[in-house]
Amino acid sequence: MTPDAVIAALEGANDLRTADYRLRPVCDADLDDLFVHFGDPRVAEFLDNPPVETRDQAFDIIDWACGVRAAGSGVRWTIRDADDAFLGTCGFHLMNYSHGRRSDIGYDLGPGHWRRGVMAQVLPAMLAFGFGALDLHRIQAMVTPGNERSCRLLVRHGFAREGVLRDFGYWRGRYWDQIQFARLRTDVQGSSDTE
Ligand SMILES: CC(C)(COP(=O)(O)OP(=O)(O)OC[C@H]1O[C@@H](n2cnc3c(N)ncnc32)[C@H](O)[C@@H]1OP(=O)(O)O)[C@@H](O)C(=O)NCCC(=O)NCCS
């Protein structure tokens, strides 16, 4: 895809829907929700940033989300229910079309929405958008060891556990391994974990 075509596809990402949830690009109006959400240590436990402590830090997340979309390198949505209540966020980042067609994904729900099958609807919608409108070949995710919920989610949706990237990232004053998961457009639907 050309850069312009990618940006056009991301423009079409304004209102993705599942049976029960809506995905809308992060915008300034989400500041209060994001401040509470990313300030929760339970949400941040396995993420690469500590809990946000100020509204400015929450605004930096909005700034980042708007920036990646404008640059054509991703999109971050809020996940909302039919009553427009905020449940979490998800999206694509580090999209790359110059040497392949791949992207990373990320997702985070508020703890009150864990284990209710929200991502069981949202992740398939993300994959359909990624392999469809975004024409990706490979969708990948990195998970911090210990984040068993996230590992289970990915395996349930056909991602293969490819290996551990040792000391991949540095945050909170130390290096962290990352488990690399990926699903290819050509993978057969269903679990492809090798363990
Ligand atoms: C990672 C995260 C999104 C996973 O959330 P989750 O609630 O486990 O995932 P789902 O929404 O798909 O729900 C599946 C769970 O709900 C249960 N469930 C209940 N009702 C369900 C339904 N109607 N349909 C499907 N699953 C249902 C499933 O059994 C499953 O639980 P289990 O894994 O204990 O078997 C969540 O833990 C989170 O946001 N964590 C904090 C942020 C984070 O770490 N993000 C990932 C960074 S890599």
- Indicate the domain borders of the chain: 3-140
- Grade residue 46 by pLDDT with cuts at 50, 70 and 90: very high
Ligand 1, atom 15, lies closest to the CA of 115
From the CA of 89, how far away is ligand 1's center (Å)? Answer: 13
Tell whether ligand 1 has an atom less than 6 A from the beta carbon of residue 147. yes
- Residue 179 to residue 47: CA distance in whole angstroms: 13
Ligand 1 nearest-atom number relative to CA 115: 16
Mean pLDDT of the chain: 94
Q: What is the dihedral of CA 61, 62, 67, 70, to 10 degrees?
A: 150
Q: Tell which wins on pLDDT, 195 or 175.
A: 175
Looking at domain 3-140, its CATH superfamily turns out to be: Gcn5-related N-acetyltransferase (GNAT) (3.40.630.30)
For residue 145, the cross-strand partners are none
